[in-house]
Chain A
Amino acid sequence: MSIYAGPVQDLIDELGRLPGVGPKSAQRIAFYLLKASKEDALRLSRSIVEVKDRISFCRRCFNVAEGETCSMCSDGRRDPSIVCVVEEPRDIVAVEKTGEYSGLYHVLQGAISPIEGIGPEQLRIRELLARIETESVTEVILCTNPNLEGEATAMYLARMLTPLGVKVTRIASGLPVGGDLEYADELTLGRALEGRRQVDV
């Protein structure tokens, strides 16, 4: 349904590809930008370009990084024998806030969800398995979200990781069910980390 002039329609189409933005919201944002001052619009476009130019994903754990490796991986004080697996970089922030964890991370960049067309091959799972085989990791903590997709992803990972001889644990239940890690308060998430249990497969 292209009823607007070229550039406007292009903008609506681009915005519509963003997660959580439906066609109507895309239209609303596009017209907001049309009315916005030029500086505001340029500032937005500059920060998009900047983030793409300067920030990339860590080659080892796929956290956001301002170089080849992220600040976690390049911090020599962290314990490399434990890897905490999370869905998104923002989950690292949540785990760090608890102050209960000093190992490394691995960011899957999502969770298994066939509805959204995300299978294991769309996630950084192959890279995780490679890390377990080449680094001296003794424990993997599955810290995916306590919702259906997060649980399914944890179960999938447990089945792939256990045969590699590494100890696989899952954060304790008690987090608000159906939620995201980022909504859990530090105390609850800290307790869930502390109370993690080995997964049976």
Chain B
Amino acid sequence: MRLDHLWLTDFRNYTMAELAPDPDGLTVIRGTNGQGKTNLLEAVSYLATLESFRGAPREALVRRGSERAVVRAEASRDGRSLLLEAELPLNGRDRYLLNRQPLRRGRDLLGALRVSIFAPEDLHLVQAGPAGRRDLLDGALVALHPRNDALRSDLERVLRQRGALLRQCDGRLDTDAESTLDVWDSKLDELGSRWADLREEVTGSLGPLVSDYFAELTSAPAHLSLTYRRSWEGRLADALLASRREDVRRGVTTIGPHRDELDIQLAEMPARTHASQGEQRGVALALRLGVHSLVGTVVGSAPVLLLDDVFSELDPARSAALIRLLPPGQSLLTTAGPLPDGPVPALVVSVGAGEVRAA
């Protein structure tokens, strides 16, 4: 997996910009804050995941005053060259092309380019609510098998449909609504059970990897374990039936994969509440490294590493450990300050006033 060339048109603060990162070493993107370093990584990852890793809305991605943004990249995989293009109109749906062929669905682009993103906000993975941890598992599942994206989006849609129906019930369930609810429950059972099984399976594969990385990142390592916890017991179909009255009363689906949790325990205590901030940063890094390594192993080529300002928040010891642990391969790193000792950039570019220049 390699990114050969990136072109942006009217994306974020860039009118026109291009970047040709080093093919297999470290490319450092320098610049003071607010100049658009992260925007470059965001554009690369957009082609890999079809969304902004910062959760940015469309208006933020299209340069002000422009009707559409275009992100284009040349990538190669197993010696084959691929041209990926995404057009993001201010209004309406994205258009995607692969090797100049328009794709009917965005998800047909998934898998053409894979990335692993490390960002300072990763700390939320450990500190914030379960949504981010579920997203981590879901992202890993799609990176491992792009086909999983169809399952994920069907599941999200079932949940939206069921939620809409529950709200329309307005606390009461007549026979008509009941027979429609039966249908959505049966779909939710089918897709939700499968998705939870997949998440549980990938948690099982990640556990030992993440635990090893964490041990290497910390000087006095405590045992780290990952457990996937479902929000129901037994068969999902039965659990949905049992919670139906409650769901109708509250107008929401109270159990299902959207309520599940990835438990992270450090020395048998929840990392979210019982770990120090330093430990939590270590856990977050270990989670990202674990996914990166798992995807690289299963897919057979390492994802492109995108490191957004990662060293600014780490103490020197952890920075050094992270540098040591990063698997070899193409990486793009943004930084406002100097780099810690260790990595030798193969290419340095600088970003300022909406331009990318060789430094």
Q: Given A24-B91, A115-B160, A121-B176, does the pair A148, B154 have CB atoms closer than 8 Å?
A: yes
The interface residues of chain A lying within 8 Å CB-to-CB of B317 are none
The interface residues of chain A lying within 8 Å CB-to-CB of B157 are 148
The interface residues of chain B lying within 8 Å CB-to-CB of A22 are 91
Selected interface stretch from A51-59, A63-71, A100-108, A149-157? A149-157
Q: How far is the CA of A26 from the CA of B180 in the complex (A)?
A: 34
Q: B186 within 8 Å of A by Cβ?
A: yes
Q: How far is the CA of A96 from the CA of B181 in the complex (A)?
A: 33
| Those of A24-49 within 8 Å (CB) of chain B | 24-25
The 8 Å CB contact of B161, one of A25, A113, A121, A178, is: A113
The 8 Å CB contact of B168, one of A114, A151, A152, A179, is: A114
Q: Could you tell me how many residues of chain A have their Cβ less than 8 Å away from some Cβ of chain B? A: 23
Q: Is the CB of B161 within 8 A of A148?
A: yes
**Closest-CB distance, B218 to chain A (whole angstroms):** 44
Q: Is the CB of B158 within 8 A of A148?
A: yes
Q: Which residue of B is nearest A151, CB measured?
A: B187
The interface residues of chain A lying within 8 Å CB-to-CB of B153 are 178
Residue-wise, chain A 11-23 has the 8 Å CB interface mask toward B (1 for contact) of 0000000000010
Q: Is the CB of B105 within 8 A of A178?
A: yes
Q: How far is the CA of A183 from the CA of B160 in the complex (A)?
A: 25
Q: Is the CB of B161 within 8 A of A152?
A: yes
| Those of A126-169 within 8 Å (CB) of chain B | 148-149, 151-152, 155-156, 159-160
Q: How far is the CA of A113 from the CA of B165 in the complex (A)?
A: 9
Q: Is the CB of B91 within 8 A of A115?
A: no
Q: Is the CB of B176 within 8 A of A114?
A: no
The 8 Å CB contact of B179, one of A24, A115, A156, is: A156
Q: How far is the CA of A121 from the CA of B105 in the complex (A)?
A: 31
Q: Is the CB of A159 within 8 A of B161?
A: no
Q: A93 within 8 Å of B by Cβ?
A: no
The 8 Å CB contact of B187, one of A148, A159, A177, is: A148
Q: Is the CB of B105 within 8 A of A120?
A: no
Q: How far is the CA of A179 from the CA of B154 in the complex (A)?
A: 12
Point out which of A112, A149, A152 has the most chain B C-beta atoms below 10 A from its C-beta: A152
Q: Is the CB of B158 within 8 A of A178?
A: no
Q: Is the CB of A152 within 8 A of B176?
A: no
Q: A119 within 8 Å of B by Cβ?
A: yes
Q: Is the CB of B183 within 8 A of A156?
A: yes
**Closest-CB distance, B203 to chain A (whole angstroms):** 26
**Closest-CB distance, B337 to chain A (whole angstroms):** 42
Point out which of A114, A159, A178 has the most chain B C-beta atoms below 10 A from its C-beta: A114
Q: Given A113-B161, A151-B187, does the pair A156, B105 have CB atoms closer than 8 Å?
A: no
Q: B235 within 8 Å of A by Cβ?
A: no
Q: Is the CB of B183 within 8 A of A115?
A: no
Q: Is the CB of A112 within 8 A of B183?
A: yes
The interface residues of chain A lying within 8 Å CB-to-CB of B92 are 25
Q: B164 within 8 Å of A by Cβ?
A: yes
Q: How far is the CA of A39 from the CA of B225 in the complex (A)?
A: 72
**Closest-CB distance, B319 to chain A (whole angstroms):** 44
Q: B7 within 8 Å of A by Cβ?
A: no
Q: Is the CB of A120 within 8 A of B161?
A: no
Q: Which residue of B is nearest A116, CB measured?
A: B164
The 8 Å CB contact of A155, one of B150, B154, B160, B183, is: B183
**Closest-CB distance, A46 to chain B (whole angstroms):** 29
The interface residues of chain A lying within 8 Å CB-to-CB of B80 are none
Q: B184 within 8 Å of A by Cβ?
A: yes
Q: Which residue of A is nearest B161, CB measured?
A: A114
Q: Which residue of B is nearest A119, CB measured?
A: B180
Q: Is the CB of A159 within 8 A of B182?
A: yes
**Closest-CB distance, B182 to chain A (whole angstroms):** 7
Q: B100 within 8 Å of A by Cβ?
A: no
**Closest-CB distance, A67 to chain B (whole angstroms):** 33
**Closest-CB distance, B311 to chain A (whole angstroms):** 42
**Closest-CB distance, A110 to chain B (whole angstroms):** 14
Q: Given A114-B165, A155-B186, does the pair A119, B91 have CB atoms closer than 8 Å?
A: no
Q: Which residue of A is nearest B154, CB measured?
A: A148
The interface residues of chain B lying within 8 Å CB-to-CB of A159 are 179, 182-183
Q: B104 within 8 Å of A by Cβ?
A: yes
**Closest-CB distance, B92 to chain A (whole angstroms):** 8
The interface residues of chain B lying within 8 Å CB-to-CB of A114 are 161-162, 164-165, 168, 180
20 contacts between A and B (CB under 8 A): A22-B91, A25-B91, A113-B161, A114-B161, A114-B162, A114-B164, A115-B160, A119-B176, A120-B176, A120-B179, A120-B180, A148-B157, A148-B158, A152-B161, A156-B180, A156-B183, A177-B150, A178-B105, A178-B150, A178-B154
Q: A121-B176, A155-B186 are in contact. List 13 more A-B contacts (CB 8 A).
A: A22-B91, A113-B161, A114-B161, A114-B162, A114-B180, A115-B160, A115-B161, A119-B168, A120-B176, A120-B179, A152-B184, A159-B182, A178-B150
Give the top 5 A-B pairs by smallest Cβ distance, nearest first.
Answer: A114-B164, A114-B165, A115-B164, A156-B183, A24-B91
